[in-house]
Structure 1
Amino acid sequence: MNLDDALHDGMSMDGAVGIALVDYSSGMILGKRGGNSLIDMEVAGAVLTRVVRAKVEAIETLQLDDAIEDILITLGSQYHIMMPLDDGRRGSILESGRNTLFLYLVLDRERANLAMARHLLRRIEQSVQV
């Protein structure tokens, strides 16, 4: 499945507002779908690179032998899920040669099902491995 098809698949979920593939080493959006007048996916994706970087740095500082599966931010009316692409290796994905891409999904909280969203993101993640 190509990236455009994968992002289209993400927008098919009930409650999906927008989805993007973001490179958090640069903040660059590699592909996106959706968004609305309340959320600019370009700006949100770039800003949320700081959240992913901060969590990776926290894992490194605490010397945890682990990696991020996903990060959930719950707002009054939305869910924001950031899911780094798994490169098949444990440890920090900021280390040299590691994947620095993450999927970013925005959901309408009243219509979305978080369990289904995480499941769909995992499926999309597998289809866009680079």
Structure 2
Amino acid sequence: MDPARPVLVFDGDCGFCTSSAGLADRWLRIPTVAPWQRLDLESLGLDEARCAEALQWVAVDGTVLSGERAVIAALRHRGGPFALPAVVLATLRPLAGVVYRVIARNRHRLPGGTPACRL
């Protein structure tokens, strides 16, 4: 993994998360999209509990953003047509946080979700 590139970290045991990360990889062209189970979490400033709970964005400078903040960072990184949704989500971040947490808590019920997705 190249430390000069951002990393989007997801829960590889969750089918919904894996599907969503695949979409992010294709659409947002993030240099590294990887399940936390295959990473050296300590070197990224992460731990298993944090990664199992929410999506993580590790910026080039080592800043770690979780949940809706990780989504916003990924959209900003891509820019172009994805810059506007990033601005909207950032403006409505408290609401985006609530929506993210509801989705995360119910990810086992969503398409691609399995019992392993349950938080």
TM-score (norm 1): 0.31
TM-score (norm 2): 0.33
- Higher helix proportion (structure 1 or 2): 2
